[in-house]
Structure 1
Amino acid sequence: MGHTDRSAVGEVRRELREFLGRHAEAERIDEAELLTSELVTNALIHTRHGAVVTATAGPGSIRVEVRDFMSDLPAPYVPNADDGTHGRGLILVRSLADAWGVDTQMLGKVVWFELRGGRP
């Protein structure tokens, strides 16, 4: 996905589900889909320059990377009760992912997460 149309998040979810259907347990697919949606949406909202999503599945693990083209690192955010659902993306990533992080690039950054539970 290389544009800022948030409707593309659904397309990314479908493609990820199709790919992981051959490589991961159902519960982990649901989690990967949710976390990917959060990271892609964050990239589209906060950078307005599109995002590139890469998913890999190895023996017993899933890794998803969302690359954007802005060097600003994601800031920690503590949502309050009046925020509705805003600001909870990285909280979900921290809560559900077995590992996650941010890698800076020459142009932009990659926010990634890993889940254990791919098919052996």
Structure 2
Amino acid sequence: MPLSRQRRFPRSRASVRAARTFVHQVLTDWGRVDRLDDIKLCASELATNALLHGVPPGRQYCVTLTLDGPLIRLSVRDTGDRPAPSPPPNPDACSGRGLHLVRELADDLGVTEHAIGKTVWVAFKSDKSESRPGTF
């Protein structure tokens, strides 16, 4: 049976750090730290995108982690009406590379549109036998 943990975050810049901390705590609790840095970076990028493009003022976004065998799925759901950005990054732009970076780090990526909002999710293959130096 898959494990799942979920938390809602307010529409604020500080929530990106809180989302990263949540991801760190959950993956550490599950003993799945072999992809921790990649997953935390993706959590930061997806949370930032939710804030900039998906969460209307006064609303929240939701971060969900699911562990199903060797797969870790990170999902960020917003309540906005803007579709997920899909164009490749402009090489001359100062921003717009986050989703491209997420695509490179994750083993799979997708978007689920809802009546209100969307969920952007990424999946990672995890090898529980790997451990990170300095962890138990």
TM range (shorter): 0.7 to 0.9
Contact preservation (8 Å) 1:52, 1:68: yes
Which structure has the highest strand share of the two? Answer: 2
Within 5 A, what are the aligned runs for 1:1-120?
1-49=8-56, 50-84=60-94, 86-117=95-126, 119=128
Tell me, in whole angstroms, the C-alpha distance in 2 between the residues paired with 1:47 and 1:95.
22
**Size of the alignment, in residue pairs?**
119
Percent sequence identity over matched residues? 35
* RMSD across aligned positions (CA): 1.8
Which structure has more helix as a fraction of its residues? 1
- Relative to the length of structure 2, the TM-score reads 0.78
TM-score, normalised by the number of residues in structure 1: 0.87
Structure 2, gaps ≥5 residues long = 1-7, 130-136
Cα distance in structure 1, aligned partners of 2:92 and 2:48: 20
Task: Show structure 1 runs of 5+ residues with no match.
Answer: none
